[in-house]
Chains A and B, each alone.
Chain A
């Protein structure tokens, strides 16, 4: 198994949760246990573009109860004898080995996963800023020699990159530190927001400079928040920014 593995450094570990639930894309080589026509394989692959049921395998790090996962798409790429190559876009936590096994069952002949490469994890893609372990070792050595920050940017992305697919709300400087202390975000602090937010959506709260402040759960939709003049719009779930970077513009209640 090779491919896109986002690695979080120090403080950015706080966004791992957001990455786990993000969608994934794989290129998979599946081996059939019998001879079938390309037509039949394509038909069955498209049947799996649906909500599927999976029980985590014996060797899994999660509770083994039946769960559903969404397969966004399966694109047939090519077939050579019993080897089938396809690309699959799916919800995080989909077991591709299981998927291949199940495809084999439907085909009737059986099948197994031969090779797998992840081509996407949330916003991270294969043909972007992906680097190898060798690149990391090399660029880090160069950075230590030259102390040129451009080198760091060659192999490290700001954690905000990992939040690219999550809808965002941008807030006033004066509201930042309260959120850093875990306060809920209220309507007057909101400057702009992205479309597609629903009640209970996980959103990211950002500063106007584009810094991530926290992950939160929206209490209203984009349209509702846009019209609100007061009241809570999002409940802070995971604070990402350190306290005290922005000025404290709020007062604690009288005791």
Chain B
């Protein structure tokens, strides 16, 4: 089998259909969200240590950051 293109190897172009401006009164650029909101809409690229389960690690992050709801994207237990 020839090597297939992985999803992260796909190159995409942006096609502009119409021009318009965005009003600065509404919303924020993701990196300019106020701190509270930045955390609530945030993701951590965590280096999972060996030993605890993904679930346990997420629970620790929840406790460290004193949050209500912390999840993880895909269990890392093979």
Judged by a CB distance under 8 angstroms, whether A183 is at the interface is no
B46, A7: Cβ atoms closer than 8 Å:
yes
Contacts A1-B50, A162-B43 given; indicate if A8 touches B78 (C-beta within 8 A). Answer: no
A3-59 contacts to B (CB < 8 Å)? 3-13, 15-16, 19-20, 22-25, 46-47, 49-50
Once the chains are docked, how many angstroms separate the CA of A97 from the CA of B75? Answer: 14
Once the chains are docked, how many angstroms separate the CA of A241 from the CA of B26? Answer: 12
B58, A7: Cβ atoms closer than 8 Å:
yes
A157, B54: Cβ atoms closer than 8 Å:
no
Contacts A49-B1, A156-B38 given; indicate if A8 touches B43 (C-beta within 8 A). Answer: yes
Contacts A122-B73, A191-B16, A194-B15 given; indicate if A9 touches B27 (C-beta within 8 A). Answer: no
B74, A19: Cβ atoms closer than 8 Å:
yes
Once the chains are docked, how many angstroms separate the CA of A96 from the CA of B58? Answer: 22
Contacts A7-B61, A8-B71 given; indicate if A1 touches B48 (C-beta within 8 A). Answer: yes
A226, B17: Cβ atoms closer than 8 Å:
yes
Contacts A1-B77, A8-B73, A16-B71 given; indicate if A157 touches B48 (C-beta within 8 A). Answer: no
Once the chains are docked, how many angstroms separate the CA of A16 from the CA of B72? Answer: 7
B residues within 8 A CB of A226? 15, 17
A residues within 8 A CB of B57? 5, 7, 133
Interface residue total, chain A, C-beta cutoff 8 A: 90
A22, B31: Cβ atoms closer than 8 Å:
no
B residues within 8 A CB of A137? 64
B34-77 contacts to A (CB < 8 Å)? 35, 38-50, 54, 57-58, 60-61, 64-65, 67-77
Interface SS majority for chain A: mixed
Q: What would 9 more interface pairs be, CB under 8 Å, given A9-B41, A140-B65?
A: A9-B44, A23-B8, A73-B4, A136-B65, A173-B20, A196-B10, A211-B29, A211-B30, A246-B27
B residues within 8 A CB of A68? none
A residues within 8 A CB of B49? 2, 132-133
Judged by a CB distance under 8 angstroms, whether A160 is at the interface is yes
A10, B68: Cβ atoms closer than 8 Å:
yes
Chain B proximity of A192: nearest CB distance (Å)? 4
Contacts A92-B74, A96-B78 given; indicate if A5 touches B65 (C-beta within 8 A). Answer: no
B residues within 8 A CB of A225? 17
18 cross-chain CB contacts under 8 A: A2-B49, A4-B46, A7-B61, A11-B40, A47-B1, A49-B4, A113-B78, A122-B73, A130-B47, A136-B46, A136-B61, A140-B65, A149-B35, A158-B42, A172-B18, A190-B17, A196-B10, A209-B30
Identify which of B16, B43, B77 contacts A9 (C-beta below 8 A): B43
